[in-house]
Amino acid sequence: MSGWLFQPAVLPWLAFACGLCVGSFLNVVIHRLPKMMEREWREECAELARADGKLTTDDRPHKPEPYNLVVPRSACPACGHKIGALENIPLVSWAVLRGRCSACRAPIGLKYPFVELLTGAGAAYSAWAFGATLAALGAALFVCFTIALAFIDHETGLLPDDLTLPLVWIGLAFNLQNTFAPLGDAVIGALAGYLVLWLVYWGFRLLTGKEGMGYGDFKMNAAVGAFLGWKMLPLVILLSSVVGLFFGALQMFAARGRWDAGFRFHFGPYLAIAGVVALYWGEPIVRWWMYRV
């Protein structure tokens, strides 16, 4: 009865619609997960302070209101207007409202429909490229996680363990069936993905005394290796470095070609771009390169 849903002409559109809905949820993840982490850190600091006797009972903060990916309901940050169901239809609501809150007319950033569109396009392309297979589901999940990680890292400099570590295990689980790479290659990819950036980190730190990247980058690269296997890691690292160098140079020299001493390089978005490119087109790129060499 439902076989028509998996037809090549239908499945990508169905995946696109589902991806738009997931993209709407990813906007919540991107906005709230760093705030949830900050609240957790503050609570841990308060617990340590109480354990050390630096806070008395009277100094203890009131129990905060629940704040997670489900509650409270999404609201306009400018006026607090609760967003209703009709105002939360992916892409459509933003277009109908002309990118403004229905209550106070405060602007709603382009980031929100852009994330929805990216997620929908990633899901649709996964369905088109892999068909009704386990690989299509795995590719769509990989795109969803990397979109969330890229935007969070770009905005906050964080790559949360709540996303990177599950992505490692998801990649290994899919490759139990050799979905993207043999399981042995995936395990080695996870190990090598972590270690190669760990070595770069310590080499840079020993030479300069500064931290060039965070531990979240190691874990995200491990997740890419777990999905795609170790053979794709050179391509991923090369692509992410080239793309990162290009955009980093634009940012660093934006002020009349002068070096910005406060510039902080966030590697996560470039790892995400390189990982998605390698996921879809890695094998043709490697074959083309080997042929030229």
- The average pLDDT across 214-221 equals 93
Sign of the C-alpha dihedral computed for residues 38, 42, 48 and 54 taken in this order: positive
Confidence of residue 9 (pLDDT cuts 50, 70, 90): confident
DSSP E strands, the chain: none
Write down the pLDDT at residue 85.
83
Check pLDDT > 50 for residue 2.
yes
Q: What are phi and psi of 195, to 5 degrees?
A: -70, -35
Write down the pLDDT at residue 256.
56
Write down the pLDDT at residue 54.
63
The one-letter amino acid at 159 = L
Per residue in 228-276, pLDDT (tens digit) is 999 999 999 999 989 888 877 777 666 555 555 555 668 899 999 999 9
pTM of the model: 0.90
Per residue in 22-37, pLDDT (tens digit) is 999 999 999 999 999 9
Which has the closest alpha carbon to 30: 226, 171, 162, 169? 162
Q: Tell me which of 160 and 209 has the higher pLDDT.
A: 160
